[in-house]
A = this chain, B = another copy of it.
Amino acid sequence: MEEEFQSALLNSAVNELSRLPGVGRKTALRLALHLLRQDAGVSDSLAKAITELRHGVCYCSICHNISETDICPVCASPRRDATTICVVENVRDVMLLENTGLYNGRYHVLGGVISPVDGIGPDKLEIDSLVERVRAGGVQEVILALGATMEGETTNFYIYRRLADTPVKVTQLARGVAVGNDIEYTDEITLGRSLRDRTPFNGQ
């Protein structure tokens, strides 16, 4: 396995590339041979971007989103509503929510959800730091924006309990029929929730 190809440099590149998620040895070889066919500048830019990414990006000390500064632009911006914190599982969720263009509050990235099966307890997540942020005052609403999965719901409930003795309002993302979906393709639990949580129809 280690000396599969004639060239040690090719072996080494294939080994490193195949450590990436979803990249097997065949794909890694294809990528390596592709890089060999390109100008050296392509490999150099890629290597530089990878190195600078890992060494230049850190995590915001307030919300734990990725950042290039100790405090991320969202937490640092006076234009973002500091009274609302949206709790998400990971940094990709922040990007998704930012892309909706409908949220103007701040975030709190947990770094996962509670999952006893995977050995992830509350202590491995940024839950204590969330509670501290709320206790520090100024926060009026915590929006739980975790997945509608067993683990997400468990984490929602845990956070809700931890915040029970604070005056903060805890909300969660609405569950319901996905926009564009037929009722037919909506599962019964979701349909039940969408019926219970029905909203006033105002012609929009």
| A57-B91 CB under 8 A given contacts A21-B34, A36-B66, A49-B16 | no
Contact A44 B53 (CB under 8 A): no
Main SS class of interface, A: helix
**Given that A36-B57, A50-B35, A50-B43 are known contacts, is A72 also in contact with B17, CB under 8 Å in the complex?**
no
One digit per residue, 1 when the CB lies within 8 angstroms of any chain B CB and 0 when it does not, for chain A 59-99 equals: 00000011110001110000000000000001110010010
Q: Indicate the member of A10, A54, A56 with the most B CB atoms within 10 Å.
A: A54
Cα distance, A66 to B5, chains bound together (Å): 10
Q: Are A16 and B46 in contact (CB under 8 A)?
A: yes
Which residues of B sit under 8 angstroms from A8, Cβ to Cβ?
68
Q: Which of B13, B19, B73 contacts A42 (CB 8 A)?
A: B19
Contact A66 B10 (CB under 8 A): yes
Tell me the A residues contacting B by CB distance below 8 Å. 5-10, 12-13, 15-17, 19-22, 27, 29-36, 38, 40, 42-57, 65-68, 72-74, 90-92, 95, 98
| Additional pairs, 8, CB under 8 Å, beyond known A17-B50, A47-B50, A47-B51 | A6-B66, A6-B95, A9-B57, A12-B53, A22-B30, A29-B92, A40-B54, A43-B54
